[in-house]
Structures are given as C-alpha cells and as structure tokens.
Amino acid sequence: MLVRTLALTLAATALLVPSGTAPAAATPDHFTPKPGVTFNNPTNPGARRKIFRRVMRSINSVPRGENIDIFSWNFMTSAGKDALLRAQRRGVRVRLIMDDRNVKQVSNPPFRALRSGLKRYNRNHPRKRNSWARLCQGTCRSGGGSAHSKYFLFSDAGRTKRVVMQGSANFTEASTNNQWNDIYTHTRNRQVWKFYTNIFNEAAKDRKVRRPYRDKRVANFRLIAFPNKGKRTRDPVMQMLNRTNCRGATNTASHRTKIQIAPDVIRQKRGMNLARKLRTMWNNGCNIRIGYTVVGIDIGRFLRNPAGRGNGVPMKHLVQDFNCDREFDRYFHMKSMTIRGNYNGDRSGYALLNGSANWSGLGKISDENVGIYRSRQRVKRYESHLDYWYENFPHRRCRSDSNARSTGGEIDGDRLIFGTDENAVYEDGESVTDGEVDPFASMEE
C-alpha cells in the first residue's frame, strides 16, 4: 500500500546515526502523564516532539517491577530503543508488537537491536518477567490486513497508574519529523486498562481470535478494536454519521451541524460508502471540511463534483513535497473526526473520533484502535487544531522539476495519481483513462 511505503521511506530517511549501547543503569525520569489530548507539529522544532517526548518521558518514569506494552505498526527510533533497554535493565518488563513488513522490507536497525537486546538481558530476570519484541505477519488477531494499531500501555508512570495512550502516532522518528499526529491519554481507569491489555495479549499470540471486533462503552466514551469482522459489527464512522442531523443545531452560529474530518486516507469501497454519506449530508446542510493525505481518484471526483450544494464538499490536501519526487515530505497522519451540533438526538451535541484506522477497506480488516468521545472540551480542542491547519497549512511548491507537479495525491487501487481529469497520470506516466470515466463509480476492494 502506498501510505505504508511512504511511511517506511520517511522513517528510514529520518533515522539518524544509531546511538550507543544503553547503559546498564539509568536514572528514571519523574514524569506523571495527565489525561487528555496531545498534538504534534512537524514544522515547529518545539512542537514536533510533543508526542514523542511524552512517550519517552513515560518510559523513563516506569519503576522497577512494572510493565510497558507497546503496539506500533512501525518501531524505528534509536532513542526509543535505548530507553526501552534501560527500562528492562532496571527491572521493567517490556513488550512490543510491530508489523513484520517494517523489518522485512526495509533495514530497521533499532528494532533488530531492541529485539536482540531484550532477549539477551532476559537471563537476568525470572521467566515470567521476560521482555520481547515480536512481529505479526499481517493482522495479529485475524487474517489479512496489517498490524496497524498504535497504543502505549504503562502500568505505572510517575505518580499515576494504568496509563493508556492511543491515537495515530507510531513509535518512530518519522511520526515526529514528518507527520501531524495525535494521541489521547487515559489514566487510572481500570476498564480502559483491562480493554487494551486484553487486546494486546491476544495480539501477542499472532493468531485468529473468535471475536476480533470489540466495542467497549465506558462512561461517556467508547473504545473499539478492529479488525471490523463479524456478523454483528458496524462501521463506527458510519454509525456516527447516521446519528447526525444537519439542521437544528443550537451550539453553532448557523444552526447547521459542523463536521471536521482529517482521515489521512479515504479509498476503496469503504471509503466510497463514507464519501457518499458525507456528500448527502453536505447537500442536506451540514458544514463539512475534509483535510486529507490520500484519496481514491473516484472518491475525490465524487466529493468535488459541483452538482448539488455549492461547489462540492470542501477538501484540502494537507501534504508538503519539497523536492518534487512525489513522495510527501510532511503530511497529516491523523485519523480523526469531530461533530458539533444535532447529534444523537442532542441539538447541542459533541462527538470526537480518533485512533489509527484509515477510512479504507484495508483499515477495516487490520488491527486498529478507535476512540469515540462525547466531550465538549475535547471536541473543541480537535476543532481548533483542524480549523487552524485547514486554514493555515503551509503549502509550498517544490523547488525543482516544475513539470513534475503533484496536484492530486490520489489513489486508484494502490497506485498514486498525479494531475486531474483527462491529464491524470499514474506514477510511471501512464494515462489514467483513454476515454469516458464514471466519477461516481465505486472503488474495488
């Protein structure tokens, strides 16, 4: 898949010279994670490491006898490797799961060093406290797909227990330097801790489970684990959209429901189904903004079609390509949506979705983490963040090869498309179409 290839390339190029062997003893930090939202900004030196620093400080604050469990589609950071090895040496059990493509398709020295280092030092701990770094071939808890989840579990960090961080950020340098990401932190909640710990323990076995799709309701939020397979499963994104009424909102100035979307990837049959729903809602009066990285070409044309209300659903391509190589140097990697307005029977409703799942067929069948929160404060945080970048995204024209113009960032199947309409071509220059194209055609899985 294109996005996987992009992330692999970025992670490899972002990796600096590996640091030395972790020291035998390290003084832990004294950081206490607080619950709530954290964003990073790769364009700002002070803000690009906010998520990474939060994870690193948490690792360095886990005391002897406690546990660190990490599920990251990709792990590629020498600093993270050293921190986890230091944690093991001071008596912390460390376990990490990663998709096997990120060590088989690219060189990944930090992961290999972490895996061998944890194994080597296990001889100093009881067997039940053994640490490891493991790979899943595709989805850990079902068949097909990929091991795409992104969450961090700390049994104790600083002065708080049962810390869970879930969102869009992998444990890589690329997630810091090349991507806009988010995480949502929970602390001290036994139900949240049990949910993620159970899912992690299942994933660690790398075999099919009877019920891979899980949906846990806790207070005013839901926690969901994909793969989204089974007779009784529902698409949580479509569920939220179906509960939304576009008119009659009492918490917006226009009395129209406001929907902000940053889905990273919208493609394949699932993406088209969601696009059709959004187009209907736009025509019915919802105020919608979509900031995307990759969109299926038919989906992009369908959403932008000027028929109906206005000139199509407002969309903005949130990527930067500085050298015209048609690989994104920086891009929005979040997978979030906010709804403010007439939601689920509440005319002043608020709802937030975040996590690791792209709006695609692959996202549906992969290991993914999703959170849905009914919180005015959290929705406003995400709204402010998405509004700012939608309105102020630092687009720059690449500085070489002016004819290699990357205008689409769109996908047909698994191939990136550049240009639009009759000028659209694939990466190798092949014309996308030799005749009539139905812009409303559904993408094939």
Residue pLDDT, tens place only, 270-309: 999 999 999 999 999 999 999 999 998 889 999 999 988 9
- Beta carbons within 10 angstroms of residue 67's beta carbon: 17
CB 299 within 8 A of CB 279: no
Same domain, residue pair 179 and 261: no
Tell me if 346 is assigned to some domain.
yes
Q: Would you say residue 214 has pLDDT above 50?
A: yes
Mean per-residue pLDDT for 7-13?
50
127-142 pLDDT, tens digit each: 999 999 999 999 999 9
CB 81 within 8 A of CB 114: yes
315-331 pLDDT, tens digit each: 999 999 887 766 788 99
Tell me if 400 is assigned to some domain.
no
Tell me if 199 is assigned to some domain.
yes
pLDDT computed for residue 439 by the predictor: 27
Tell me if 109 is assigned to some domain.
yes
Same domain, residue pair 204 and 90: yes
Distances (CA, A) of 143 to 58, 79, 110, 206, 211: 33, 33, 27, 10, 12
Tell me if 378 is assigned to some domain.
yes
CB 371 within 8 A of CB 166: yes
Same domain, residue pair 300 and 262: yes
Same domain, residue pair 193 and 291: no
Same domain, residue pair 238 and 342: yes
pLDDT computed for residue 409 by the predictor: 52
Same domain, residue pair 261 and 293: yes
Mean per-residue pLDDT for 341-359?
98
CB 341 within 8 A of CB 252: yes
Same domain, residue pair 109 and 22: yes
Tell me if 431 is assigned to some domain.
no
291 - beta bridge partners? 316
Same domain, residue pair 282 and 203: no
Residue 67 vs residue 232, higher pLDDT: 67
Q: Answer yes or no: pTM beyond 0.75.
A: yes
Backbone angles phi, psi at 60, to 5 degrees: -75, -5
pLDDT computed for residue 434 by the predictor: 43
Domain boundary among 210, 230, 264: 210
Domain boundary among 210, 237, 258: 210
Q: Would you say residue 19 has pLDDT above 70?
A: no
Tell me if 424 is assigned to some domain.
no
20-76 pLDDT, tens digit each: 444 444 458 999 999 999 999 999 999 999 999 999 999 999 999 999 999 999 999
- Assign 90 a pLDDT band (cuts: 50, 70, 90): very high
Give the strand pairing for 182-186 and 160-167: antiparallel
Same domain, residue pair 269 and 355: yes
Number of structural domains (the chain) is: 2
CB 107 within 8 A of CB 205: no
Domain hosting residue 387, numbered range: 221-392
Domain boundary among 366, 392, 418: 392
Tell me if 406 is assigned to some domain.
no
Same domain, residue pair 75 and 95: yes
375-432 pLDDT, tens digit each: 999 999 999 999 999 999 997 666 544 333 334 455 444 444 444 445 554 434 455 5
Same domain, residue pair 184 and 261: no
- Assign 433 a pLDDT band (cuts: 50, 70, 90): low
| Domain at 53, CATH number | 3.30.870.10
pLDDT computed for residue 416 by the predictor: 45
Same domain, residue pair 191 and 246: no
Go through the chain and tell me how many residues it has: 445
163-203 pLDDT, tens digit each: 999 999 999 999 999 999 999 999 999 999 999 999 999 99
254-272 pLDDT, tens digit each: 999 999 999 999 999 999 9
pLDDT computed for residue 220 by the predictor: 92
